[in-house]
Structure 1
Amino acid sequence: MPPTTKDEASNRPQPSRSSSKRRISKSAEPSDALSTPPKKSKPSIADLVSSQGSCQSQLDAARSRRDEELTTPTPESKPKPQGKKNETVVEKPRSTADMYTFASRPRPSGNGVVDLTETKTAVSKPLNGTRLFGQIGQGGPKRLVVKNLRTTPKVDPNEYFERKWREQAAALDSLFQGGDVKILLEELYKATEHICRQGRAAELFSRLKGKCTVHLNDIVRPQLVQVCKSQGGIPALQAFVDAWMLWQKQLQTIRHIYFYLNQTYLIRQEHGDINTVGMHMFRSTLFYDGEIRNTVLEATVALVQHDRRGNASEAELPLLRAAVDTFHDLGVYASDFEPVLIYASKEYFRTWRKEEAETLDLPHYVRSCSALLERELARCDEMSLDRSTRSQLSDMFDEIMIEENIERLSDEDSILDMLEQDMDAELKQCWTLLSRKGHQQRLSTPYAKFTETEGSLIVFDEKQEADMVVRLLAFKRKLDHLHIDCFQKDDNMGNTLHKAFEAFMNKSKKSQANWDTDNAKPGEMIAKHIDLLLKGGVKAIPKLVAKQESADGEDEQDYGEEEDEDVSIEKHLADALDLFRFVHGKAVFEAFYKKDLARRLLMGRTQSFDAERSMLTRLRNECGANFTHNLESMFKDMDLARDEMKAYSQLLADRGIKPSVEISVNVLSVAAWPTYPDIPANIPTSILKAQHDFEKYFKEKHTGRKLTWKPSLAHCQLKARFARGAKELVVSGFQAIVLLLFNDVAPGEGLTYDQIKQATNLPDAEIKRTLQSLACAKYKVLTKTPKGREVNETDTFTYNEKFTDSRFRVKINQIQLKETKEENKETHQRVAADRHYETQAAIVRIMKARKRIGHNDLIVEVIKATRSRGVLDQADIKKNIEKLIEKDYMEREDEIRGYSYLA
């Protein structure tokens, strides 16, 4: 800022306290930032102009007056310090706070009114002390007065209300008559808003309600009553539903017109909005009219009955759905419609049950009941019936169709017929119906009876004894399907199935099939079934494959890749083991399985050693290590025998000995292997020499051991020359002895039956069986004269030089793998004898521990102790007790009806 003189400094305007807070315009000159003079009365501009001569003279006078005022300090401002005469005074620069200090806001007057109409622009003061002009924005009023700008309405409110209501009433009349509203809805809405703002909302609503009531009561109701009286039924229901739909559309337009009334007045009242009020008016005026209500409800129930009987037309179902929706909208569903529907449904259910139960058998009855329940529940969903209605209909169905008809649903003969005829769908429906009331266990008795009866027929069917296991597996698959699909995997039904299956599997009946013993047949047949699987695989049981393909659905199988043979065998072994678990008498299974395993190992007919060991593992897990101890020892003996023959062959090779006959000997322990009878036979000299050489080697290596040769288990490979070429024949030991006799017979000559018997020294049974396999079976190496299927003592046998076969190596030793009747009888009798010995041992152990025991308690203890080896009848247990009494192991005490142990 440049320096100024003292006179200039004295002429600078000083800011007052009131003006120090006023914002200073940045574009104004320093001389224009004037302080506000004290308040004075302001004349108008016209007065100022008229009191002065000209505008220019007024401006000059105003400037001179302003200069005088600027030289005189105001009482509010502090005088600046004056310097000496003729000295220059430098003014201190003003701070930012001084420059931007503004005046306080204008305050209202005592009455709290700020007048905004009064202009307080800073103007230059005229000659009389009032500023005339000034810069806009530099000054302003000290107070603002806000005045009400509204003008007094010129239209009378009552007149306005009446005029607008007449317009709205005319619009409502047009709406109710089905015509178009001529006045714009926007104008009607604005009229409603103005009326509500005038505080007359209650009166407007009262008139609107009265208008609607008159329309419903005087126009709509008489029309519906007339239809109900003249036509009734479905036409009346249709008219009622149409009236409600039309009323809903009219209410929508009414709500648009009176939306402001609805939002500002009605929703704050107890009666609710326009839609709710309109619904209440329709319900009270129309539905609860006695004639209309009864007709509408009866027509709706009639539609439901038509649908139940299947007589409903295409137009009736939409009407029924619309009627139910109408009842929901009016709020009369639970109070008026539902009780009528439930009562009619109860009568319908009782009539239907009486008609159907008397004319239909149980399968058709359960089908009809299930279909009826399904239709009822589907109707509840399709027609939007309430959840309470669905629940009441369901409970009513259970009470009438199930609870009151429980004897019919659980009729034993009818259930058995369905089980025998494979009516799985009906069984499932019957189970579902009974389970709704907790009576599903009533099916367990006929289910158990069917299982035990059908299973016993399979077990004791001697004609199809060979297919017993295949049929049992198919029967078990059927029962499992029933348990899973029909009975929903119910635990009680599963226990029933297990007990019934276990009962018939362990039934015993003395017959020729078990040689008049008490052995259960399934144990033997399961062992033979497993033997067939392990010898020839799944293909050895074509019936099993056919039944499984039919059960699994052959059309749905994937023929792209065949299942692995080992995997298939494992599956069938697992199925056979499932049957084995039901067998109590494991001794029968053990005896036959052990005998068949020995044949497979000795004849080299095992299909897969992995499958053999897998079966042993399953049996060990199922029955324990003691059960499979001997079976595992058999495999060990075969491994030791194989090592023994390798050592013997190596010894002969080291000595340079080349035997005329190569033999392979299996040295077996007597304890682990089955017992075989000693059958006498004249062994050829070359074979006898090879046997003696091996026996000498074995006794030198193992002292104190005795070898017993079993030629009945031997098999040989012979080279034979026929007219069409040489063949290699795989035959049994007895077949080889017979065939070697023909080396000493001239061509064309034969041997009689007696000559063969004398040369071989074989029993008649073995000779006949051997000759029949060589001359009457598939491979006729010998020719029998005369021809026939049976071998007689008068027959003659010659060497068949014309024998031919496509294969070079021909197996004829099949007879060794077939069990004879004598062997089967011997096995059954031995098992029965062993069981009696085990029973006697169990009795002795019990008596030794208890010293004294009653008869019934002893029977129970013996049955528990021998259950794993097979359950004996009480009569057999009594026989064993008598034997022990005879042997002085125990004595009878009559006074306590029991027994005491004799040490």
Structure 2
Amino acid sequence: MRTIISTEKVEDIKHLWELVNRIPKAKTKLLDMITDHIYQFGINTIQRISETAIDDPETYVKELINIYKKFLEIFGTESYFEAAFDKACHKFINNNAITQKADTTTKSAELLARYCDELLQKGDETIKEKFNEILIIFNYIEDKDVYEKFYRKMLSKRLVDQLRTDGDDDEKLMISKLKVYNLSIMILTLHFTLFLQQTCGFEYTSRFERMMHDVDVSKNLTNEYQSYCKTNNPKSIVNFSVMVLNSNLWPFSSLPNVILLVELKAILDSFTDFYTHRHNGRKLMWLHQHSKGEIQTYFTKKKYTLQVSTYQMIVLLLFNGNIKLTVEGIRDKTQIRPELLVQVLYSLLESKILLCQEITENFQDHDIQMNHTIELTKNFTSKKIRINLNVPLRSIEQQDLECLNISIDKDRYLVIQVDKN
């Protein structure tokens, strides 16, 4: 029987089934052999790509889908092979060379969530077809709670960064597709929401939908604030938008407050007054590490618009009143944590908008010392008029990832405790 199964010829396998169907032990043995054949093929295939795929969600998920499709054509057409087929897929998707290299059975859930994030950022034309493929693998994933946490983390970043302007429909469709399980999740656009809802149920998607609702409410709140400024203080109007997020929904870690320059503090104070008068008892906590803006240069011959993070903006605005500053001086004036500050300065020095005589050409952020002197590059030039200097800060991303892993470990511990009891 094993030889016939290894040929993977559909008609021969069906004929074999007809021969053993009335013999319980032989039938069970055949189904076990089919399960083992699919499982071994899956295990061996993932083993061959494990070195690269462990850090490449697209390669990993596409290979899982290819294996699934291959055996679906052979065994998926007959109901009596369905259980054996599903059992094998469940085994090799949740436990293979990549989950073993990562030393965690949750790696498949993480990579699937990351692949989904990549698709939603790219806005692929075939994205709706790929949602269906994602859900095939999702149905076999044991750690759907881990998928939810990783997906929610990446959803929050997509929504805050506004990487796409037309992504909401795709996000909501995917969320709705997951609603047949009765779990709890959410994803970036309307279509993805619907996909998730169809597969996992409303409870699984409710948190994502409430996050999307926060975004919609924030858009209205921004418009209301602009109207408020026009009525109460027309001179204070700036191109300012805000996202007010429920701290119980959004997986952002907080950082110590920084010192804002007058130019920025006035805007934030104005909005805080507006908001607290409307929502008495609520408290705003500003997440400067996830904020951004634009400033214009006047010290250069040609005017440039710099797209910067709030931390970069705080540092650059210091040079409105200072010709030169030491790194220590910048830290004291801003209270940005040293490990974050050197990354902020590195991005500005690398772009040549700032200058430091003490560093070499091929420097890294750890080469920046507290006694180094920083100044504006007065002869700065660029081919671009609008220059994007905003880059993710490595230590913030690392802190958010650590918080996520702690949350996953905590949930796992609670599950184990419940099982023991």
Q: Could you say which TM-score interval applies, normalised by the shorter chain?
A: 0.7 to 0.9
Change (3 A) 1:510 1:651: same
Aligned: 1:836 with 2:413:
yes
The within-5 A match list for 1:493-892 is 493-507=81-95, 518=104, 520-538=106-124, 565=125, 568-607=126-165, 608-611=167-170, 612-659=189-236, 661-721=238-298, 723=300, 725-746=302-323, 750-776=324-350, 779-784=351-356, 785-791=359-365, 792-794=367-369, 796-815=373-392, 820-840=397-417, 843=418, 862=419, 878=420, 881=421
Cα distance in 2, alignment partners of residues 526 and 808 from structure 1: 39
In structure 2, the gaps of 5 or more residues are: 20-29, 171-188
Cα distance in 2, alignment partners of residues 705 and 769 from structure 1: 33
Aligned: 1:445 with 2:71:
no
Using the TM superposition, give the Cα deviation of residue 756 of structure 1 relative to its aligned residue in structure 2, in angstroms: 2.7
**Matched residue type, 1:710:** L
Aligned: 1:470 with 2:65:
no
**Matched residue type, 1:604:** Q
Cα distance in 2, alignment partners of residues 839 and 739 from structure 1: 50
What SS does the aligned partner of 1:813 have? Answer: coil
Cα distance in 1, alignment partners of residues 335 and 158 from structure 2: 27
| Cα displacement string for residues 707-763 of structure 1 (whole angstroms, at most 9, x for unaligned residues) | 1122111111111247462221211111111222233343xxx54433332232111
The 10-residue stretch of structure 1 (462-471 or 728-737) with the greater mean CA deviation from structure 2: 462-471
In structure 1, the gaps of 5 or more residues are: 1-405, 416-426, 539-564, 844-861, 863-877, 882-903
**Matched residue type, 1:471:** Y
* 1:357 equivalent in structure 2: none
The within-5 A match list for 1:219-298 is none
Cα distance in 1, alignment partners of residues 39 and 101 from structure 2: 26
Using the TM superposition, give the Cα deviation of residue 621 of structure 1 relative to its aligned residue in structure 2, in angstroms: 1.6
| Cα displacement string for residues 619-659 of structure 1 (whole angstroms, at most 9, x for unaligned residues) | 12211111111211112112222222222211221224321
Cα distance in 2, alignment partners of residues 834 and 723 from structure 1: 54
1:645 and 1:664 in contact (8 A); partners too: yes
Q: Please tell me the root mean square deviation across aligned C-alpha atoms, in Å.
A: 3.2
The 10-residue stretch of structure 1 (807-816 or 520-529) with the greater mean CA deviation from structure 2: 807-816
2:46 and 2:63 in contact (8 A); partners too: no
The 10-residue stretch of structure 1 (443-452 or 488-497) with the greater mean CA deviation from structure 2: 488-497
Using the TM superposition, give the Cα deviation of residue 594 of structure 1 relative to its aligned residue in structure 2, in angstroms: 1.3
Cα distance in 1, alignment partners of residues 158 and 67 from structure 2: 33
Cα distance in 1, alignment partners of residues 328 and 394 from structure 2: 27
TM-score by length of 2: 0.80
What SS does the aligned partner of 1:815 have? Answer: coil
Cα distance in 2, alignment partners of residues 479 and 783 from structure 1: 55
Cα distance in 2, alignment partners of residues 816 and 579 from structure 1: 32
Using the TM superposition, give the Cα deviation of residue 483 of structure 1 relative to its aligned residue in structure 2, in angstroms: 3.4
Cα distance in 2, alignment partners of residues 672 and 576 from structure 1: 24
What SS does the aligned partner of 1:501 have? Answer: helix
Cα distance in 2, alignment partners of residues 658 and 830 from structure 1: 46
Cα distance in 2, alignment partners of residues 488 and 698 from structure 1: 57
| Cα displacement string for residues 89-120 of structure 1 (whole angstroms, at most 9, x for unaligned residues) | xxxxxxxxxxxxxxxxxxxxxxxxxxxxxxxx
What SS does the aligned partner of 1:717 have? Answer: strand
Using the TM superposition, give the Cα deviation of residue 532 of structure 1 relative to its aligned residue in structure 2, in angstroms: 2.0
Cα distance in 1, alignment partners of residues 247 and 109 from structure 2: 24
1:456 and 1:505 in contact (8 A); partners too: no
* 2:23 equivalent in structure 1: none
The within-5 A match list for 1:35-54 is none
**Matched residue type, 1:743:** N
Change (3 A) 1:468 1:603: closer
Using the TM superposition, give the Cα deviation of residue 834 of structure 1 relative to its aligned residue in structure 2, in angstroms: 2.2
2:229 and 2:237 in contact (8 A); partners too: no
2:346 and 2:364 in contact (8 A); partners too: yes
Using the TM superposition, give the Cα deviation of residue 830 of structure 1 relative to its aligned residue in structure 2, in angstroms: 0.8
Higher relative contact order (CA 8 A, sep 6+): 2
Cα distance in 2, alignment partners of residues 512 and 819 from structure 1: 28
Using the TM superposition, give the Cα deviation of residue 494 of structure 1 relative to its aligned residue in structure 2, in angstroms: 4.5
Using the TM superposition, give the Cα deviation of residue 481 of structure 1 relative to its aligned residue in structure 2, in angstroms: 2.7
2:47 and 2:97 in contact (8 A); partners too: no
Cα distance in 1, alignment partners of residues 76 and 113 from structure 2: 33
Number of equivalenced pairs? 385
Aligned: 1:483 with 2:72:
yes
The within-5 A match list for 1:143-542 is 409=3, 415=6, 427-429=7-9, 432-433=11-12, 435-438=14-17, 442-455=33-46, 461=50, 463-484=52-73, 486=74, 489-507=77-95, 518=104, 520-538=106-124
What SS does the aligned partner of 2:235 have? Answer: coil
TM-score by length of 1: 0.39
1:679 and 1:712 in contact (8 A); partners too: no
Identity across the alignment (%) = 22
What SS does the aligned partner of 2:39 have? Answer: helix
Using the TM superposition, give the Cα deviation of residue 807 of structure 1 relative to its aligned residue in structure 2, in angstroms: 3.7
